[in-house]
Amino acid sequence: MYDIIIIGGGPAGLTAALYALRASKKVLIIEKGGFGGQITFSPKVENFPGDISVSGSELADRLVEQVLSQGAEVELANVTGITDNTTYKTVKTENGSFECSAVIIATGAKHRMLGLPGENKLVGEGISFCAVCDGAFYRDKDVAVVGGGNTALQDALLLSEGCSSVTMIQNLPFLTGEKKLIEQLERHSNISVLYEAAVIGLEEKDGSLSGIRLRSTSGKESILHVNAMFVAIGLIPANEAFSDLINLNENGYIISGEDTLSNVPGIFAAGDCRTKSVRQVTTACADGAVAALSAVNYIDQNISKIRRVS
């Protein structure tokens, strides 16, 4: 029987574990793959407080080492669901079930990819999903942004401040983002848009992205030479296993505010898996801290009260 089970070993889950452990709670972290989450795809992280520059994988290793030194237990397994037994929760995995007083869901979200040959290999070597994180590495260079929604528009605007040119690639004959963002885009001379075009292949040189192959709806193919491609075609939250218990919004995110509370008492959501406007490693860590303290408070007040009554 654990006090808190944390589902997910990214920055949100690891920070939650740290705070829960420091509150003298027995903690189990269940992670289905590698620790660190999406941050491990970033070769350089320069916006994490206290580090001028650190690789995403190194940052993840430090977080894991820290929570293990505090006494966290770890289980490598895929979570298939949660049962709410009121006074305790059962977290079900493919390897068995675990019981606890409170659960923190920190499963994150993965970026939608284009599904091109060699795409995975070039992530961090010219392919990025975060203009805020990686845009500064391509100052005075030519870049592309794939997508036409609000995220793509915001990425293009941000990149235009430092890059020589920004080419947006949109598979539709129009942009789908907000009108105000489109109007801002039109005022930047170094931003251009290729409509009705799709990325069909990648060019690389010395292990890094050097260009992208495009095909228009008319069938015409071309190569756009760029130093980086920022993919902004959406995120996929990993919350399917909880949909029968936890309220999700239309996009599959756990409905939860800054207090990290879900609709089920004793179950909290932290990081990219919940509804929020900013998804950065620092906000994930903040969520983890809030979720852990909320879970500790829930256990100390509610569970202790239930035990006294019984």
CA 99 vs CA 1, 27, 197, 264: distances in Å: 5, 11, 51, 16
257 and 304 in a single domain? The answer is: yes
Asked whether residue 252 falls in the same domain as residue 106, the answer is yes
Q: What is the model's pLDDT at position 309?
A: 45
Report CA-CA distances (Å) from 6 to 185, 195, 251. 41, 43, 23
Same domain membership, residue 251 and residue 198: no
- Classified as helix, coil or strand, 92 is strand
The residues annotated as belonging to the active site are 130, 133-134
The enclosing H or E element of 145 equals strand 142-146
Q: Provide the token pair at 243.
A: 């949909």
Q: Which tokens sit at 191?
A: 């931003």
Distance CA 101, CA 89 (A): 6
Tell me, yes or no, whether 167 and 188 share the same domain.
Answer: yes
Instruction: List, for residues 233-264, the tens digit of each pLDDT value.
Output: 988 898 999 999 999 999 999 999 999 999 99
Examine the domain organization and report whether 71 and 205 are in the same domain: no
Are both 105 and 239 inside the same structural domain?
yes
Tokens of 151: 């995220």
Q: Is there a single domain that holds both residue 67 and residue 134?
A: no
What's this model's pTM, rounded to 2 decimal places?
0.76
Q: Look up the CATH number of the domain holding residue 141.
A: 3.50.50.60
Q: Which residues of 275-286 are buried (b: 16+ CB within 10 A; e: fewer)?
A: ebeebbbebbbb
CA distance 289 to 50: 17
Last residue within a domain, chosen from 231, 261, 288? 231
Q: Do 179 and 219 fall into the same domain?
A: yes
Co-location of 104 and 245 in the same domain: yes
Same domain, yes or no: 162 and 295 = no
> How many structural domains does the chain have?
2
Counting as low any pLDDT under 50, the low residues of the chain are 308-310
The parent domain of residue 175 ranges over 113-231
Residue pair 80/93 in contact (Cβ under 8 Å)? The answer is yes
Taking the alpha carbons at both ends of the chain, their separation in whole angstroms is 18
Of 208, 231, 254, the residue at which a domain comes to its end is 231
241 and 106, same structural domain? yes
